[in-house]
Amino acid sequence: LQTPAAPSSSLMSTVRAINLVLPEIEVHLAGSSIDGQLILNLRTTLVDPVVKVELVGRGFLRWLEEDNPELDYHKSTACTNQALYISKSKNFNIEDGWLDSGVHSFDFQFSFPSGIPSTFTSKIGCISYCVQGTCYSRQIVLAKEERCLLLQGTAGDRRKHVKDTAPVVVEARKDVVYFCCFRHGSVILRISLEKSVFCPGETIVFKTDIANRTCKYVRKVVFAVHCIVLYSGFSSRGEQRSLEDRSEVTRLESRTDTAPFEAMRVTSALVLPKPMPVTSSLVENKIMAFRYELVGTSELPCTTSTIVGRVPIII
């Protein structure tokens, strides 16, 4: 076998700089387009150049789980999966087969499909999008630049049947016993929303009624939007596995100081980030499914009890 010849230093030093110029858009929307330029700065003339721009969106997940819990020794197996959401490329036509020294600009445009998911990152999986510009000659890469994009997915026609004006009320009750004084009591947490469907970047405004029927103060309630992700992967033996994981999207601590045997109403607001995945199924996102809950939590003083109210919402 012949060892391939190393690229000459003169060829590798031909490109002074390569830059991607993209619009100053913080978050791109599924179904929209992106216009940009690839700027190539050459020190000397470049013969037989290939200049290309690519738009790629991928999903990947990986987690470890115990292979057989009944064994006396620990043996874990990796569950993985991946998905390709978009792959587009543009090769620029180089007239006469060479580029003179100096600065050259190449315009490009890509369209995002309407059904692709949002940018997402967790300890288990990620969905990412990037634009990559490459210049090479004689199968030798001379320069490359990659820029990551934030993309917001959309629900499209899937949510037309959902009535977002319907109010939602969830009530949670926790009974407690104070053994120090042999007294019983309870706390009721009622969370009310005017609607259940929200968009990324929107503010969720909700009311919380706290009925404190104990002899202690209820000092605070912690509110959070939880994202529950169902991951679908395959083991090394090709067996399909699934894992559900929960994480906080946004959080708010509210001081209540509800006195014993008193009631209080608190109005709170949580701002949703953007981008964030929309509520979906495995069929839509291939390897991940997303759902959400608005969760209110309060620790009851002088006890180990916690009251939790969960309100399902749709993003």
Dihedral sign, Cα of residue 251, residue 256, residue 257, residue 261: negative
Give the separation between CA 179 and CA 100, rounded to whole angstroms.
87
Burial code (b: 16+ CB inside 10 Å, e: under 16) for 58-95 equals: ebebebeeeeeeeeeeeeeeebbbebebbeeebebebe
Cβ proximity of 255 and 212 under 8 Å: no
What secondary structure letter does DSSP report for 197? B
Question: Residues of CATH 2.60.40.640 domain(s) within the chain?
Answer: 15-152, 168-313
Give the separation between CA 2 and CA 8, rounded to whole angstroms.
17
Q: Which fold is adopted by the domain 168-313?
A: Immunoglobulin-like (2.60.40)
Q: Name which of 313, 290, 308 is nearest 223 in CA terms.
A: 308
Residue 169 confidence (pLDDT): 94
Is CATH 2.60.40.640 the classification given to domain 15-152? yes
Give the separation between CA 241 and CA 103, rounded to whole angstroms.
52
Q: Name which of 288, 294, 312, 314 is nearest 118 in CA terms.
A: 288
Residue 237 confidence (pLDDT): 87
Which helix H or strand E contains 284, and what residues bound it?
helix 282-285
Q: State the Cα torsion 281-285-291-292 to the nearest 10°.
A: -160
What secondary structure letter does DSSP report for 201? T
Residue 180 confidence (pLDDT): 58
Residue 3 confidence (pLDDT): 47
Per-block average pLDDT, block size 10, for the chain (315 residues)? 50 86 95 97 94 98 81 79 97 92 97 96 97 94 96 75 74 81 81 95 96 89 97 93 96 91 94 96 93 94 86 96
Give the separation between CA 169 and CA 177, rounded to whole angstroms.
27
Give the separation between CA 261 and CA 188, rounded to whole angstroms.
11
Residue 4 confidence (pLDDT): 47
